[in-house]
Chain A
Amino acid sequence: MNIEQTLQTAEQLLTGWNKESTHPESNRLDILITANDLRPAVTALHDAGWGYLSAITGLDLGVESGKLEALYHFCNGPAITSLKVHVPRTSDAVLPTIEDIIPAAMFFERELWETVGFQISGAKNTERLFIPDDWPENVYPMRADFKVEQAQPVAGRHADELPDEGVVGGNTFVVPIGPQHPALKEPGHFEFTVDGEIVTAARMRLGYAHRGIEKAAESRNWIQNLYLFERVCGICSHVHTLAYALGVEKLAQVEVPMRAQAIRQIIAGLERIHSHLLWLGVVAHEAGFDTLFMYSWRDRETVMNLLEQVTGNRVNYSANVLGGVKCDIGPEQIKVIKEGLDFLETRIRHYLEVVTTDAMFLNRTRNVGTITREEAERFGLLGPTARASGLVRDVRVEAPYGAYTRFPISAVTATNGDLEARCEVRLNELLVSCFAIRTLIDNLPEGPLTVKMPRKVPAGETIARVEAPRGELLYYIKSNGGENPARVHIRTPSLCNWVSVLEKAVGRQLADAPMLIAGMDPCFSCNDRVVTVRRTNEPTTWSWKQLREYGIEYYKR
């Protein structure tokens, strides 16, 4: 079925509620519905199995228009159907929850409420997820009329603090993991209620590294934002700029030269190798197999060196520019990359053997946290976590972009859906990535590296999706034709995969909980995108300007 037919099917499914349908792009269909029709419309798409709910974007259409807009993006291959709902910008901004239909929507809805201020009627969980506990009520950072002065911290609100006693009653107690805990090097907070060794309930809180990047993007121009989004994540920095660049180039109708696209893909491949090897080490460490941890991180240095060779940086590569790439790959680098890949391939094959045959490691991974295909679909999982359950969710395959249109790759899947399958899928994916990088290097198209980009991007909106190491990364970009974007919404893959941890930890041993968290390869900094500095007992919120001045002063010393 081609894209038009797929979109027509969606339009037919939604005819009963359709107020207005538009095609903002060739692969997209926007359908305006009323808030009351939201639940039946979502049920219709869900029951028909039309794609999956990929993200919910909330927009403030401005004080004059008096409207808020919510976009429910459903992705089906390359086709995207967005359900558009308009609600008034008053306290009547109410949307019905769809959490009971699609569990993954829970996190999206909470984000929608916290950042744009939609009230979600019927939501089971109304705890804050991203925004700090001392953030004032009814102040929403993504509203058009938001001012920094409004964000004065409310004293005496720290819902996070646990009761003094560790014991809840009898054998039951709460074991907190994070935000500072040896198991998680990144700040996230989980509370596992345990009865003896068995987990009976799980709860989580994010936002410890929330930096308000989406808000910051509105005050920066298109080029500055490229470097801002690079800092969303320290592990997959390249794919964030890639998604952003792809979106902006689409809006500006700029065709990127093939050579630049190929180089982007080579760097994305190297980044995937570094990310997955890092993950392997973390999982091995959580399992208590430090030898594998040390070895995989040692070998990861090889790929870090390759990335440094090509881009000049180890972490934030800054390889992308709008309209192309910054760095070229010459014959000398090709030689180095090939040598590096030879070494990495033998090591990856070795690790593949270890994770599938080492009896002691298998004790901790086989049949642990098994997610069936049906569950994966219901939770709305993405990336390697979904693929390990036999669900093909890979943007590179489903909706090829950039160089993948010319050099297609195949999706790696497994069927068991347990931690072992997740290890297997990720390592096999690395072999595919190695192969893809070789193909790209051998067939590197000739041509320029960049094309000229206009300073102002024409008005419009677009969705850019790329496959990050952890799964589908979605950028919704809206331009008003100015030098700055009107709205950029980022939906990172980790957000979709959390549900699986919370659901799967219950009933299992405490010892498996860190493994389950690590198993989906969470990336907290991606998830959390206001800065609160607490130096005395009085909480103070700093504005960007104050923080910047503090930073400059700090480094002068």
Chain B
Amino acid sequence: MNTLPSLLSILIFPAGLTLIFTGMFYEWIDRKLVARFQNRVGPRWFQPYADMVKLFAKEQITPKLANPFMFFGLPVVAIAGALTSALYVPLMGFEPVHSFPGDLIVTIYLLSLLTMCIGLAGWNTSGRFSLVGATRALTQMFAYEAPFLLALLGPALAAGSWEIKEISIYAQSHWMAFTQPVGFVVALIGLMGKLELPPFDSPEAETEIVAGALTEYSGRGLAIFKVGKSVELIVGITLVSAFYLGGLNGILPFLLKTLVVLLVMSVLQTLLTRLRIDQTVGLWWRFGTILVLAQIMLIIFLRSYPL
């Protein structure tokens, strides 16, 4: 392995800085769209960047009861997980930087790291709101993680590979949003659950528990978590559109497809009322998982006995 190009690809392009800036830009698009749908003006384009600069410049207050090592370490682990996961997905329409058979599972694991860190962070700060928020975040993770994984397994089974690169090459000739519609819907909604976007924002429902698990975070820690979320947003969208929307073979298709997914997600955020945590869990296990399982059975059956 060449050290310099690898380092460059991790730190600058396509992962690292580029990813962070694009992620924040996508976050702005999302906020702006939701604002316009809600008849508001919405933020200006540099708002997420300005927020970051402001947060990084601010004092970080460590709660008395929190373990300082974990308090500072968790955001770093969270963003590292999110950035590493970017190495295995076809960002900007380029080939993934790294790939090996089975990297799909690793990517999904790395993407869950952020939620787990947020849960731990809430438990570590042991504020009232953070504890309730952490419990909710982790409960929700158990709800969406399985169906989300199953929804990504569908294309993997169809392509006959567990390598993201292979699957996205297979996807370029197969629009799996049409052949596996259930999987597509579940993956899209699962992604919203993962990112704690409305209607799955009960872990940070401000009207009940202020800011949920991250209530006690301020300054850098909060900023890093936020950046991690932006990164996860773009990695998640890339993954879903690479698998279901006919692959990503170039920067233009990448922008087009990911923005369409983002648009759909903004519309859903605008239209839906927040679910209570019991309702979220019920929704995923009663409908999401069962539907996706049925589809996977069908795929396995069809592959074994072609029509």
Contacts and interface: CB of A to CB of B under 8 A. Distances in A.
A287 B198 CA distance: 11
B277 interface: yes
Given A294-B38, A511-B208, A196 B135 contact: yes
A509 interface: yes
Contacts of A165: 65, 126
A511 B202 contact: yes
Contacts of A288: 198-199, 201-202, 205, 207, 273-274
Contacts of B209: 175, 510
B207 A182 contact: yes
A173 B198 CA distance: 26
Interface stretch (A360-368, A373-381, A411-419): A360-368
Contacts of B271: 291, 360
Given A288-B274, A510-B208, A176 B38 contact: no
A174 B132 CA distance: 11
Given A166-B126, A288-B205, A294-B40, A509 B278 contact: yes
A13 B168 CA distance: 85
Interface in A239-288: 284-288
Contacts of B201: 288
Interface string B255-284: 000000000000000111111111100000
A177 B135 CA distance: 18
B272 to A, nearest CB: 5
Contacts of B51: none
Interface in A170-222: 173-177, 181-183, 194, 196-197
Contacts of B131: 166-167, 173
A71 interface: no
A407 interface: no
A476 to B, nearest CB: 36
A364 B276 contact: yes
B39 A363 contact: no
B37 interface: yes
B128 interface: yes
Contact of B210 (A182, A197, A361, A510): A182
A358 B274 CA distance: 12
B288 to A, nearest CB: 16
Interface string B42-74: 000000000000000000000001000000000
B210 A363 contact: no
Nearest to A517: B207
Interface in B192-233: 198-199, 201-202, 205-210
A185 to B, nearest CB: 10
B26 interface: no
Contacts of A173: 128, 131
A511 B140 CA distance: 15
Contact of A183 (B38, B135, B206): B206
Nearest to A293: B38
Nearest to A173: B128
B96 interface: no
A157 to B, nearest CB: 24
B208 A514 contact: yes
A360 B279 CA distance: 10
B129 interface: yes
B253 interface: no
B44 to A, nearest CB: 19
B186 to A, nearest CB: 18
Contact of B207 (A174, A285, A291, A295): A285
Given A175-B128, A175-B132, A295 B210 contact: no
B93 interface: no
A298 interface: yes
B194 to A, nearest CB: 18
Contacts, number: 88
A289 interface: yes
Contacts of B127: 166
A174 B274 contact: no
Contacts of A196: 135
B207 A194 contact: no
B199 A291 contact: no
A290 interface: yes
A298 B129 CA distance: 31
A368 to B, nearest CB: 10
A360 B275 contact: yes
A425 interface: no
Contacts of B65: 165
Contacts of A358: 273
B240 to A, nearest CB: 22
A321 interface: no
A197 B277 CA distance: 9
A473 interface: no
A291 B276 contact: no
Contact of B39 (A182, A298, A514): A298
A363 B282 CA distance: 12
Interface in B90-137: 126-129, 131-132, 135-136
A461 interface: no
Contacts of A286: 207
A182 B275 CA distance: 18
B129 A360 contact: no
B207 A360 contact: no
A175 B133 CA distance: 12
Contacts of B206: 182-183
Contacts of B129: 175
Contacts of A364: 273-274, 276
B274 A287 contact: yes
Nearest to B279: A363
Interface of A: 165-167, 173-177, 181-183, 194, 196-197, 284-291, 294-295, 298, 358, 360-361, 363-364, 509-514
Please list the 10 inter-chain residue pairs (A to B) with the smallest Cβ-Cβ separation, ordered nearest first: A288-B274, A183-B207, A289-B273, A360-B273, A166-B128, A294-B38, A182-B206, A511-B276, A361-B273, A514-B207
Interface of B: 37-40, 65, 126-129, 131-132, 135-136, 198-199, 201-202, 205-210, 270-279
15 contacts: A166-B127, A173-B128, A174-B128, A175-B128, A182-B206, A194-B132, A284-B273, A288-B198, A288-B205, A360-B275, A363-B275, A364-B273, A364-B276, A509-B277, A514-B207
Given A175-B129, A288-B207, A358-B273, 16 more contacts: A165-B65, A166-B126, A166-B127, A177-B208, A182-B210, A183-B207, A285-B207, A287-B274, A288-B198, A288-B274, A291-B38, A294-B38, A509-B278, A511-B208, A511-B277, A514-B208
